[in-house]
Amino acid sequence: MRLLISGGGTGGHIYPALALIKRLKERHQLDAVLYVGTKKGLEADIVTKAGIPFETIEIQGFRRKLTTENITTINKFRKSLGRAKTLIQEFQPDIVIGTGGYVCAPVCYEASRLHIPTMIHEQNSVAGLSNKFLAHFVDRVAYVFPEVAHQFSEQKKLVQTGNPRAQEVSTLKPQGILSTLGMNSDLRTLLIVGGSRGAEPLNKAVIAALPELSEKSYQVLFITGRALYDNVRENIGSLAEKPNIKVLPYLDNLSQLLPEISVLCGRSGATTLAEITALGIPSILIPSPYVTHDHQNKNADYLVKSSAAVLLPEVELNGRSLVAAADHILLDSEVWQRMHMAALSLATPDASDKMISEMLSLIRQYHH
């Protein structure tokens, strides 16, 4: 299979694409791959580091307010269609996949005009603008959360596959990373993380909670975010030296650590939720209120309703509420076990295989 895949802007659009590529390679079904992104997005760094052939298109998103900047956006979109068409004609893909972000729009749109099989993947519980636009033109719309299905008018195109990242993570085993960090691999572990850049409101709450957390029978691994690390260390002083507390700026192999984690406390991005449900990790979710259409809150709601997570809105986040949520899960084995099983019940351990099955079906249809 010759696969052209496009997704950009955030890790939530990139990691599912990489997981799908990896699974195709494992199944020996990938003859060639080309990833199309932007120079400015995270994909430029992540995809090239993964050793995947990478090409770029210049495009930007529409402003939500009326502004002259949108004229520039329209002009860039027109140019991007020509660039997308050239890349597609040169690469000659069997199928084109879009995993979200503005860069997908010209790529998938041009592929549909060139009568090449097309599929988009929606990871969140609120459909992105690009995917809503593309749903009218592509052949399949794959999705994760049941709540998003009604947001697409093209119901016949819909197929619930789950997130390919889940299948990739579901096979991970403990690797003794906690031990290498100087932590006790026999203790229940709370991982607190606000992303690679960190989340200041979360960090403030953890700083307030650390005196109490340092006395608990469980241990805490606190990932501050690189930019905020020095500030956190200044504020917590000797608490960073407590035997059950570990404070780090970031861990590049964070997903490899997940099989050793008992509870995750953090944001509710699509990739995070795919990973923790794949491994049955109970969670304390603090949705970011700064994302488009409040989609993190709606993502979290899916896990909370299924009793796989505890919701802690940012407006209610402080040291006391954080400790209470952690104690509720980590100090009660029955609560932890119920949440563990609830999380596993939401997992999609065959998500990549489901997507590949749909892809192969589309290719066959076109060849007939």
- Whether residue 195 is annotated as binding a ligand: the answer is no
CA–CA dist 252, 124 (Å, integer)? 24
CA–CA dist 359, 368 (Å, integer)? 14
Residue 265 φ then ψ, to 5°: -120, 120
CATH for the stretch 2-163+350-367? 3.40.50.2000
Do 2-163+350-367 and 170-345 have matching folds?
Answer: yes
- Whether residue 10 is annotated as binding a ligand: the answer is yes
Q: How far is CA 17 from the centre of its chain?
A: 11
Ranges assigned E (strand) in the chain: 2-6, 32-37, 54-56, 95-98, 118-122, 140-143, 158-160, 189-193, 219-223, 245-248, 263-266, 283-285, 309-311
- The domain segmentation of the chain, as residue ranges, is 2-163+350-367, 170-345
- pLDDT per residue as tens digits for the range 244-299: 999 999 998 899 999 999 999 999 999 999 999 999 999 999 999 888 778 899 99
Long-range contacts of 132-135 (CB under 8 A, 24+ apart): 133/105, 133/109, 134/98, 134/104, 134/105, 134/108, 134/109
Query: At residue 112, does pLDDT exceed 90?
Result: yes
- Whether residue 180 is annotated as binding a ligand: the answer is no
CA–CA dist 228, 236 (Å, integer)? 13
Angle at 83 between CA 79 and CA 87, to 5 degrees: 170
CA–CA dist 40, 28 (Å, integer)? 32
- Kindly state the average pLDDT of the residues 90-95: 98
Percent of the chain with pLDDT over 70: 95
Judge whether 295 and 129 are in contact, CB under 8 Å: no
- Whether residue 11 is annotated as binding a ligand: the answer is yes
Rounded to the nearest integer, the mean pLDDT of the chain is 93
- Whether residue 196 is annotated as binding a ligand: the answer is yes
- pLDDT per residue as tens digits for the range 23-69: 999 999 999 999 999 998 889 999 999 999 999 998 866 555 555 55
- Per-residue pLDDT at 309: 98
3-state secondary structure of 355: helix
With a CB cutoff of 8 Å and minimum separation 6, the contacts of 365 are 117
- pLDDT per residue as tens digits for the range 313-333: 999 999 999 999 999 999 999
pLDDT band at 71 (very low <50, low <70, confident <90, very high): low
Q: Which fold has domain 170-345?
A: Rossmann fold (3.40.50)
Q: Give, rounded to a whole angstrom, the gap between the first and last alpha carbons of the chain.
A: 16
- Per-residue pLDDT at 75: 66
How buried is 324 (Cβ within 10 angstroms: 0-12 exposed, 13-18 middle, 19+ buried)? middle
- Per-residue pLDDT at 74: 67
pTM for the full predicted model: 0.90
Residue type at 228 in one-letter notation: L
| Residue 181 structure tokens | 């960090």
- Give the range among 73-87, 127-141, 295-309, 347-361 with minimum mean pLDDT: 73-87
CA–CA dist 108, 166 (Å, integer)? 24
